[in-house]
Chain A
């Protein structure tokens, strides 16, 4: 090593105390805070309602303890809706985080790229055909994958250009949303009860049959997302470096894409195409916790659950209009957020490519 290197080394040795442990501690702190908030929201969602319950009675009811009537109210009517919001929120947020990171594009998210639209289309088509509720997750998954395939056919030319994919995704999403609206109008009887869910996104009236299958599948997909995390970090280095580190970049991208599509589709099977959770939550977490790590991915899932559950509580109890679907609240929160994002994007250099 030359003398020049040594002097330079000495010169920079002193300052810059902020280390990885610092960022890690902040992520841990935020994760604990998110857990506390989530617990509080869960308590609210099982306690509040037409028959108000004391928080401890409601939580006991959730676990099947205490007064039989309370248990019935909580477990049959309130818990499925709450669990649906928590699982779908986590799934959407993690799906958004995966896609944004992989495509290096802050606009890449399942609701922008057509995946949630595809999932809703699958669900609506299944319902219109008169199939059973239990098949909805499968149909949603199929619809989400269909959207991904459309995206691939039109967007995937000699490798992946992120901008192209997002633009094609917007078109796919618009087309599929139109298809969903068409189905809702064309099959009014079959879709009478669930039209709002599939056009706007709602957790109203979820039942355990719907929640269990999709919920379990989301949990599996979440586990896969965490297993893929190391690969994702290497993909961040660009194709040449990732390839030289032994990552088969095309296969790795496909794995991440399928995981994200599965997460978003299954979440949409529970809630419909709830907007902006997948788009906004990863940015918020990035803003609060810093560069992405496995820890921030977990935080992203928690924050998504918090946001969707909180939005649902707002839609249910805090707004003067009753029966508002949660998708309206998230979209209302999300629209200004998107504007802020665009303004920040255009004013600062967000990514360094050298």
Chain B
């Protein structure tokens, strides 16, 4: 695992796709009949209102949730026909609320990312250690390696967890709301790290985000979900407009070019209540 190494080859375009995908929890249909293509080698942001099925979709894409109907394919092959371990060599996941084991140190946590690479009796290898070192280095957690994860700040903890996913050394990285619970600076740190992973290490990233402006800034491809259905998909500049935000989020807004980056920026219109409050 070295920087600037192009990850994607011709056989492995790292393209995830869903075909008529139904995802259910019990009787409840969360995602229905979804046909989706997530471009390989790009950063895709999945956005949508609360409970629209974003996290469920991510679980479906990683085999954690078996589809009720339809398939999920990675470069054309059904991920539910792949072994759990061989999929884990291609795709890493940062869950929305990862469980941190008691008193585990940062390095011990990151080492667990090597699990899919290890055989039953094989000892810890130099390659394993090198992957862990690079993951720690890249996420800026090398100096924290001996500290217990549960005593770190939210931003540091999130980076330790991203380091685990990096040590897994996969072409695809799926992140479920990686910026939730972080303050603005740490949100940007995490998103910059994601951008760097994409640009320098050539990883395909799929992440669920809440902030439309951040999604537009950091993603090449935007997937907008509403009620488990695809509302729009494409380059942020092409799909994100006031009409879409109104129909998906039920919010009146203006979409203007971000003064910093030129990407679309959603500015909600002032609401009556707020205006009254200000004028009084």
Contact = CB atoms under 8 A, between A and B. Distances in A.
A343 interface: no
Contacts of B234: none
Interface string A289-321: 011000000000000000000000000000000
Contacts of A17: 146
A350 B168 CA distance: 28
Interface stretch (B106-114, B245-253, B264-272): B106-114
A18 B146 contact: yes
Contacts of B97: 353-354
A233 interface: yes
Contacts of A5: 140, 159, 189, 193
Contact of A9 (B91, B118, B143, B164): B143
Most chain A CB atoms below 10 A, which of B83, B95, B107, B168: B95
Question: Chain A interface residue count: which class?
Answer: 35 or more
Interface stretch (B57-65, B67-75, B206-214): B57-65
Contacts, number: 115
Interface in B6-63: 59, 62-63
Nearest to B168: A245
Contacts of A245: 88, 112-113, 115-116, 168
Nearest to A14: B143
Interface in B78-124: 83-89, 91-93, 95, 97-105, 107-108, 112-113, 115-116, 118, 120-121
B254 interface: no
Nearest to B99: A238
A230 B115 contact: yes
Contacts of B63: 243
A246 interface: yes
Contact of A238 (B98, B120, B143): B98
A13 B143 contact: yes
A246 B85 contact: yes
A308 to B, nearest CB: 26
Nearest to A245: B115
A16 B152 CA distance: 13
Given A239-B64, A246-B116, A1 B99 contact: no
Question: Chain B interface residue count: which class?
Answer: 35 or more
Contact of B91 (A16, A236, A244): A244
Contact of B64 (A4, A244, A290): A244
B258 interface: no
B107 A20 contact: yes
A233 B144 CA distance: 20
Interface in B162-191: 164, 168, 174, 185, 188-189
Nearest to B89: A246
Contacts of A290: 103
A114 B212 CA distance: 53
Nearest to B141: A9
Contacts of A230: 115, 118
B150 interface: yes
Most chain B CB atoms below 10 A, which of A5, A6, A290: A5
Contacts of B107: 20
Contacts of B108: 20, 291
A240 B95 contact: yes
Interface string A213-246: 0000000000000010010011011111101111
Contact of B142 (A2, A9, A238, A239): A9
A19 interface: yes
Most chain B CB atoms below 10 A, which of A10, A16, A244, A246: A244
Given A240-B59, A352-B102, 13 more contacts: A1-B138, A1-B192, A2-B192, A9-B143, A12-B144, A13-B143, A17-B146, A20-B107, A230-B115, A244-B64, A245-B88, A291-B102, A352-B100
19 contacts: A12-B144, A16-B146, A17-B146, A230-B115, A230-B118, A233-B101, A236-B99, A237-B98, A237-B112, A241-B95, A243-B62, A245-B88, A245-B113, A246-B87, A290-B103, A291-B103, A352-B150, A354-B97, A354-B99
